[in-house]
Amino acid sequence: MKNALRISMVLIAVLFLFAWGFAPARQGGDTVSPHGAASNGSQRPDAAVPDSTRTLRVLHGGSVEEMPMDEYLLGVLRAEMPASFEPEALKAQAIAARTYTLYKMAQGPIARHPDADACDDITCCKAYETAAEAAVGWGPGARRYEQKLARAVAETDGEVIVYDGTPVLAVFFSSAAGHTQGAGEVWQTDLPYLQSVESPEDDSLVPNYYSVVTFTAQEFRDRFCAVYPAAKLSGDASGFLTDVERNDAGFVSTLRVGGVSVRGNELRTILGLRSPSFTVEADSGSLTFHVTGYGHGVGMSQYGANAMAKEGCSCEEILEHYFTGAQVVQWQG
C-alpha cells in the first residue's frame, strides 16, 4: 500500500513537471495557428478551411471546370515544379500556389476571364496540367510522382502565407544569381514582404543556369520598336543601350533603349530573355545577351527552395526566408 502511494505521488510529480516544462511557449487565442500547431494546450487547435471544401472555376484547354482547391493545386504543382524536387520544396510550392490563388480570388474577377477564377496561361495565372498530360512527360515514374505531389498538397492542407493577417502575393520563379529582387524594382508597387534576399542556387544545381542570345541590329530594332515605335535605333548597335542600372541583387533595374527608359524586366519580356539578370556585349551589327537564371527574380526561387530543402529546411522555413516578415498559418478565411 505504501509502495502504491509512493508510485502515485511520483507519477503525479512527473506529470506536473512534464506539463510545466513542456507547455507550448506560444500563448493566447490567435485566430490563426503558425505551422498548424495548437495555439495552446487547453484549446482545440484552430483548424484551417480544408482544400476539399473550397471550390474554384478553372479555365483549362478552352473550357471552364469547377473543382476543389486540392485538385487545382495538384494540377499547378505538376506544371510548375519538377516532380523530382525535395518533398519540402514541393510543399513550399503547394503553399505558395494556394496563397497566390486565394490572394487573386480576393481581388475579384479577372478581366481576361471573368467566368473563371484561374486559367492555365502563365502570363496571366499559373500553369496547370491534368494527370494524363503530366504523365506524358513523366513516363514510367508517373505513378510515383503523382503520389509524391498529392502528398505535398495534402500535408499542407489549408496552409497559407500571411503578412499582417492577410494572404500575400506569393509570386515565385525558377532561379536567380545569388539573390532575389524586391517587387518595387520590377513592378510598380513595392511590398514589404517582397524584398531582396539571398538565394542559394548556382550552376551546379540548375540546368541552363547561363544562357546566351544574340540579335542582329535589325532583329533587335524590330522587336523593340514593335512596342516602342518612338525609339531611335539607327546606326551602330553598340549605342542602342545606355544608362544601364543594376541593383544590388545583380539584376538590370533600368536602362535606356534608343532614348526610351525601360525596366530590365520589360526588356527581358520584349526580347524573350530568360531573366532580367544579364550583361550585354555589342558591336556595330549585333547585341549579345549573357543571362543568368530564369524568371523575374521576385518572391520564392524554386531552385533555391530545393537547395534549402536539401540542407534540411522545412517548407515553412523556406517560405519565411523568401517572404520577408511573413508567416505560414492554418488559414480560416
Distance of CA 143 to the CA centre of its chain: 25
Question: Looking at 115-123, 264-272, 286-294, 324-332, which segment touches Zn ion (CB under 5 A)?
Answer: 115-123
Site string for Zn ion, 73-112 (x = CB under 5 A): ----------------------------------------
Residue 119 or 233 with smaller CB distance to Zn ion? 119
56 touches Zn ion by CB under 5 A? no
262 touches Zn ion by CB under 5 A? no
Question: Looking at 29-37, 121-129, 204-212, 213-221, which segment touches Zn ion (CB under 5 A)?
Answer: 121-129
Question: Looking at 123-131, 168-176, 262-270, 315-323, which segment touches Zn ion (CB under 5 A)?
Answer: 123-131
Q: What SS3 state is found at 110?
A: coil
Q: Give me the helices (H) in 139-278, please.
A: 142-154, 217-227, 264-271
Contact at 8 Å (CB) between 33 and 329?
A: yes
Q: Which of residues 289-328 bind Zn ion (CB under 5 A)?
A: none
Written as one letter, the residue type at 30 is D
Residue 125 or 169 with smaller CB distance to Zn ion? 125
**DSSP states along 257-317:** ETTEEEEHHHHHHHHT-S-S-EEEEE-SSEEEEEEESBS---SEEHHHHHHHHHTT--HHH
| Shortest separation between residue 132's beta carbon and Zn ion, angstroms | 22
Site string for Zn ion, 159-188 (x = CB under 5 A): ------------------------------
Q: How many residues bind Zn ion (CB under 5 A)?
A: 3
Residue from the set 119, 169, 273, 313 that interacts with Zn ion by CB under 5 A: 119
Residue 114 or 312 with smaller CB distance to Zn ion? 114
Strands in 278-282's sheet, in edge-to-edge order, are 210-216, 286-292, 278-282
Residue 57 or 223 with smaller CB distance to Zn ion? 57
125 touches Zn ion by CB under 5 A? yes
124 touches Zn ion by CB under 5 A? yes
Question: Looking at 30-38, 118-126, 181-189, 252-260, which segment touches Zn ion (CB under 5 A)?
Answer: 118-126
Q: 130-136 long-range contacts, Cβ below 8 Å, gap at least 24?
A: 130/60, 130/75, 130/78, 131/78, 133/78, 134/78, 134/79, 134/83
Q: How far is CA 3 from CA 8, 10, 306, in A?
A: 9, 11, 56
The dihedral over CA atoms of 196, 327, 73, 301, expressed in degrees to the nearest 10, equals 20
Contact set with Zn ion (CB under 5 A): 119, 124-125
